[in-house]
């Protein structure tokens, strides 16, 4: 008896045939019906806030309102679809568009062009409200509003600091360092100064130099996650008046909107993400076989890192992970691939401590994962040298990968877990 599964690889599918008795589980996200009427869904969320009064009891007509919105790197959030109903609600509360400023939460990303503002927020939003961009490197645009109990100065974009009311928007997904995205991430790193961002990100590294990364700053973990706790403290200093966040389906459609108290409503959104993308597993497998889901999720190794991280969670220590990642643009982006020039993981860590970057952190984490499991990447033949230099094991076919895996495991009766959409699904070990 065999189990047959199709796995995405670039624009193709690879057929996999596995002995049924060895397959522990096929991990897929839970189906959820997408919302069909976005404006109505937003209005419903605003009319039924979580842990908070409605906006008409929070804002007044003379308030200067600041809406913090995700930048173009989070284009999947579809600001253009859910921001107009929010603006309409503020208008109904007596706040005119002229009193509303949309602040682009760039973090340390580059500035938007006018065309990117238009594509990200839509013509209606661009026409109705003023738009400012919070870029962490523009140091003169930030003011200090406090210091966290962890010793990090909280410096935020001046328009946010001086607003009468601040509203957070964005999308909630699993986050490989902060546990979950959305919510307080609008403040940190969204509208925070570079020194504040660096101070917060430092908690992702182990508190002992040479020990790599923190075991507490991982997907789905909030309790004991120092990065998350520090972010929350920083956000609380801003005193956000309200939040509107979206939860997405596995297909990238809107699944749910949460609105209300900036933390309580966000937390309910995190629970929704867990129900959709967190898949319970009873035990870890000797061999995990996964795919990002094909192009564009496997366009390069940087995008494929989400697949690596999630698949690793389903594998036993000392086990094997096979991932189908075509990586047609294997060397992109340069600020990620350049980290593999540091062959030693210790060198990567020291360089990261000197100047933290998310690509650098992911490169370090990938290397550390490859020390705990045999990490085999099925990819294009021309990527072989790059993958090997990154400390991973290249293979040109699933058959070659399976042969390597069996040699590593040293037996035929190994257990298998399959993750057809490992970029989105997070294994959650019960007990």
List the Cα angle 330/366/230 in 5-degree steps. Answer: 120
Supply the angle between the helices 194-201 and 226-238 in degrees, to the nearest 10: 150
Known active-site residue 175: yes
Catalytic, out of 112, 162, 175, 421: 175
Query: Would strands 153-157 and 165-172 be described as parallel, antiparallel, or unpaired?
Result: unpaired
Give the separation between CA 230 and CA 103, rounded to whole angstroms: 22
**CA–CA distance, 112 with 128 (Å, rounded to integer):** 18
Phi, psi of 146 (to 5 degrees): 160, 180
Q: Is the dihedral of CA 412, 415, 420, 426 positive or negative?
A: negative
Q: Which residue of the set 109, 201, 228, 261 is catalytic?
A: 109
Tokens 């990002």 correspond to: 292
Residue 421 is a catalytic residue: no
d(C-alpha 138, C-alpha 314), whole Å: 42
Rounded Cα distance between 400 and 398, Å, is 5
Nearest to 160 by CA among 242, 103, 121: 103
Beta bridge partners of 285: 315
Phi, psi for 426 (deg, rounded to 5): -115, 115
First vs last Cα of the chain: how many Å apart? 30
Cα 365 to Cα 348: distance, rounded to the nearest angstrom:
10
- 341 Cβ contact partners less than 8 Å away, ≥ 6 residues apart: none
Residues with Cβ < 8 Å from 12, sequence gap 6 or more?
294
**Catalytic (active-site) positions:** 109, 175
């Amino acid at each position: 008896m065999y189990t047959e599964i199709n796995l995405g690889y670039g624009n193709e599918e690879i057929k996999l045939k596995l002995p049924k008795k060895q397959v522990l589980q096929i991990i897929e996200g839970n189906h959820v019906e997408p919302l069909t009427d976005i404006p109505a869904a937003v209005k419903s969320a605003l009319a039924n806030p979580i842990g908070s009064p409605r906006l008409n009891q929070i804002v007044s007509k003379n308030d200067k309102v600041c809406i913090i919105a995700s930048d173009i790197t989070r284009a999947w959030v579809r600001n253009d679809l859910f921001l107009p109903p929010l603006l309409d609600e503020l208008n109904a509360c007596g706040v005119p568009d002229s009193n509303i400023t949309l602040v682009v939460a760039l973090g340390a990303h580059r500035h938007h062009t006018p065309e990117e503002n238009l594509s990200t927020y839509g013509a209606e939003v661009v026409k109705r409200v003023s738009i400012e961009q919070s870029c962490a490197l523009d140091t003169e645009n930030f003011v200090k509003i406090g210091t966290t109990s962890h010793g990090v100065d909280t410096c935020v974009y001046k328009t946010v600091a001086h607003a009468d009311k601040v509203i957070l928007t964005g999308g909630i997904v699993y986050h490989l360092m902060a546990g979950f995205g959305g919510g307080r991430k609008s403040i940190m790193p969204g509208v925070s100064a570079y020194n504040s961002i660096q101070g917060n990100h430092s908690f992702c590294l182990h508190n002992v130099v040479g020990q790599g990364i923190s075991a507490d700053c991982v997907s789905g973990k909030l309790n004991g996650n120092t990065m998350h706790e520090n972010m929350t403290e920083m956000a609380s200093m801003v005193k956000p008046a309200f939040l509107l966040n979206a939860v997405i389906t596995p297909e990238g459609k809107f699944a749910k909107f949460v609105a209300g108290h900036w933390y309580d409503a966000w937390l309910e959104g995190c629970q929704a993400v867990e129900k959709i993308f967190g898949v319970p597993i009873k035990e870890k497998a000797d061999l995990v076989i996964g795919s990002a889901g094909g192009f564009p999720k496997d366009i390069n190794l940087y995008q494929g890192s989400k697949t690596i991280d999630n698949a690793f969670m389903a594998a036993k220590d000392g086990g094997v992970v096979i991932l189908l990642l075509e990586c047609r643009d294997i060397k992109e982006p340069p600020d990620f691939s350049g980290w593999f020039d540091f062959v030693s993981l210790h060198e990567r860590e020291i360089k990261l401590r000197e100047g933290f970057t998310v690509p650098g952190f992911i490169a370090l984490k990938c290397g550390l994962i490859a020390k705990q499991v045999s990490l085999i990447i099925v990819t294009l033949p021309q990527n072989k040298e790059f993958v090997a230099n990154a400390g991973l094991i290249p293979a040109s076919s699933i058959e070659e990968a399976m042969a390597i895996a069996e040699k590593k495991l040293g037996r035929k009766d190994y257990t298998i877990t399959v993750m057809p959409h490992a970029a989105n699904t997070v294994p959650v070990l019960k007990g």
